[in-house]
Amino acid sequence: MKTPTLISWSLRIEQELTPNTELTIGYVGSRGYHELIGIDANEPTPAICPASPCPAFYPTVNSAAAPPVTIATGFPSGSPLAGAPVPAGSYYVPAGTPKPNAAIANTWTWFSLGTSSYNALQVDVNHRMSHGVSIRGAYTWSKALDDGDSLNATTAGNAPGLVSNPFNLRADWGPATYDVRNIGVINALYELPLGKGKAFGNSIEGWANNVVSGWSVNSIVTLQQGFPFTPQLSYNPSNTGDTRNPVRPFRNPGFSGPVILGKPGQWFNPNAFIAPPSTGGFDGNLGRDTFAGPGLATWDFSVMKGTSLREGLRLQFRAEIFNLLDRANFNTPNLIVFTPPTAANPTGLSGTAGAVTSTSTTSRQVQFGLKLLW
């Protein structure tokens, strides 16, 4: 094991727009090495096609060599991949290939082999309090890439926890499970000009001033793109013997049209994918965390009232509304595209593939509070 290492760099430029308003534009980047990733350290050693015992394959696309040999690969009849050749460079595990250590089953082992990359453009506009108003807007456009970031099966619900192929870590290089390409937040605070010394009610005295003064409203709007996700199978036909780690499907070369439908009943189109052949031995060619899930938009609003009871003692009343517009922010959709084929369902296509079954935020919530400050 090695100590995880992160090299980071940044550059920021600040510009004063007005005496109370400031603009900051920055770039932030980093590169990580020796990060922990989960690997099954007892998987059978695969062959890299076209080495034996790989199935027959096309020598090279557009090759002038001998005519290609087409074989039945176990894909459903009528599939665009039925009878297709095995591409050169594919990893293949024949059925019955022994594990390196036959005395134990599959493992979940941490290796310090992970790498990561992060690049971000950050924009921040900050208007400090003047005339009772302060407002700040922040926006980040970023991209986080890695080859694994889940130390166990519970830390990320949008992708498998283990590396799909321990012998080819590069196949898992893609968006991190926490990658959010766009996120913006606007926060505004307005102190109402009511009461003694304010624009309205300047002549009010005594208890009446305590009632009308000290009010302020606060608003926070958050908008962000969804987290990436990885469509997958509910089983592992790769002949590795590891039933914990589902594999990714193949892209369907005969599919056209949008993969992301954006509907709660079916966020993505499962017809865009094909399960690996029933004979097993292969992982799908779909990349890790290829697609973006549902985004988030929420508006939180609050009203606050501060009242001075005596010197050094204040009472604060708060009325807060979370998710003011009662927007349904959806969670990651059901990732399982294929289940084990049966006589009733020979393709194994799941009827709930892409369905959204939960939300990432609550419905509208209203709460009241009193706070004593001294």
- Model pLDDT for residues 298-311, shown as the tens digit of each residue: 999 999 998 888 88
Q: Where is pLDDT greater, at 23 or 242?
A: 23
**SS3 state at 103:** coil
pTM: 0.84
Dihedral over alpha carbons 32, 38, 40, 41 (to 10 degrees):
50
Return the number of other C-beta atoms located less than 10 Å from residue 311's C-beta: 6
pLDDT score, position 253: 85
The torsion angles phi and psi of 208, rounded to 5 degrees, stand at -65, -35
From 284, 54, 46, 51, select the one nearest 166 (Cα to Cα).
Answer: 46
Q: What mean pLDDT comes out for the span 90-108?
A: 90
pLDDT score, position 66: 39
Please report, rounded to a whole number, the percentage of residues in the chain having pLDDT higher than 70.
91
DSSP codes, 12-37: EEEEEEETTEEEEEEEEEEEEEEEEE
- Cβ atoms 245, 234 nearer than 8 A: no
pLDDT at 263 over 70: yes
307-362 pLDDT, tens digit each: 888 888 989 999 999 999 999 999 999 999 999 988 899 889 999 999 999 999 99
For the chain, the average pLDDT equals 88
Structure token digits, residue 297? 């938009």
Please report, rounded to a whole number, the percentage of residues in the chain having pLDDT higher than 90.
61
Report CA torsion sign: 57, 59, 61, 66: negative
From 246, 250, 239, select the one nearest 82 (Cα to Cα).
Answer: 250
Structure token digits, residue 186? 């606007």
Report CA torsion sign: 47, 50, 54, 58: positive
Structure token digits, residue 58? 């096309």
C-alpha angle 47-177-296 in degrees, rounded to nearest 5: 150
All structural domains of the chain with their residue ranges: 5-46+93-373
Amino acid at residue number 230: T
Return the number of other C-beta atoms located less than 10 Å from residue 188's C-beta: 15
Q: What is the DSSP letter of 258?
A: -
